[in-house]
Amino acid sequence: MGRTIALTGATGFLGRHIVRALVGRGARVVGVVRNPGKVPALAADGVELRRADLAEPDRLAEGFAGADVVVSNAALLPVRNWRRADHLRTNVRGTENVLNAAAAAGVGRVVHVSSVSAYAWGASGRIAEDHPLLDEDAGALTLAYGLSKALAERRAWQLATEHRLALTTLRPCLIYGAFDTNFMPIFAALARPAVTVMPAYTSIPMVYAGDVAEAVALAIEKPAAAGRAYNLAGDDVTLWQFFEAWRDAGGRAARVVVPIPFPYRLAYDTTRVRAELGWRSRPVGEALRETLALDPRPWRVSA
């Protein structure tokens, strides 16, 4: 790759996977983060860490100086905070600050990590990238995270036009993998007891963090990705199949599992990212084996 990539949220769950993918391609990675000392391993891997908060546009511009590309990845996640005002302030205003800072630093290329949560309700079948995003008129029952990601992406496209930035947005579904502090701990806690329950016939779109990171790298490498949005989702698997793959990969799992019938299915169309970027999602079993190999938490049977 041979480029300098400035990455917000480099010390977070997805950020650490993005760093791994970019460094593996020969990129120079600059992590623009709130707490540079959070993950000492990043500095040991040659990542330069610069301090800046999403609320500090001037510091962000300093952090982006000299970069060829900015990856806008940092965001407030719902498991930690459900308050709408906090999500709008962090995710929407933070995205505005990142795009404006990229322009101020003279960076012309931005990859923004959005979410399928940004889509408006009411879709049927596989949801493609042309489905409308939520807007300001979304009802009070709309989850704060989804609304904030929709408004943030809308604002990113507006600012990209104003500043003439080459923007790509990626819309992953539920992300899992090593270092996750949201879905994986909940799933592992559910899977761990000797006797547990597990939903059957429940298909919730998921994507491995390493595969999202690969999509970030591909979006940077392929000029045709500029001006495009891409859904990111793995193979269709039920939560029951995910549990079986977890157990087969060596994760700590119940000996007796009681199925709870809950027929539900949601799906996202990934034709565009596969055709235009050559992106592929790895099988869930392979992804979970890598998760267990990378993550030091006591999730393995032998732990």
CA-angle at 69, arms to 65 and 74, nearest 5°: 90
Residue 87: what pLDDT? 72
Residues of the chain scoring pLDDT < 70: 78-84, 123-124, 138-141, 301-303
Q: Which residue segments constitute the domains of the chain, with CATH numbers given? A: 4-175+206-232 (3.40.50.720)
> Quick check: pTM over 0.85?
yes
Q: Nearest Cα to 252, choosing from 174, 196, 199, 205?
A: 196
Q: How far apart, in whole angstroms, are the C-alpha atoms of residue 170 and residue 159?
A: 17
Residue 43: what pLDDT? 86
Sequence-distant (6+) residues with CB within 8 A of 243 are: 191, 198, 253, 257
Q: How far apart, in whole angstroms, are the C-alpha atoms of residue 121 and residue 132?
A: 9
Active site residues: 145
Residue 139: what pLDDT? 63
Whole-Å CA distances, 245 to 103, 187, 198, 225, 285: 44, 13, 13, 33, 5
3-state secondary structure of 110: strand
Residue 56: what pLDDT? 96
Indicate left, alpha or beta for 108 from its phi (over 0: left) and psi (-120 to 50: alpha): alpha
Q: Evaluate whether 240 touches 24 at the Cβ level (below 8 Å).
A: no
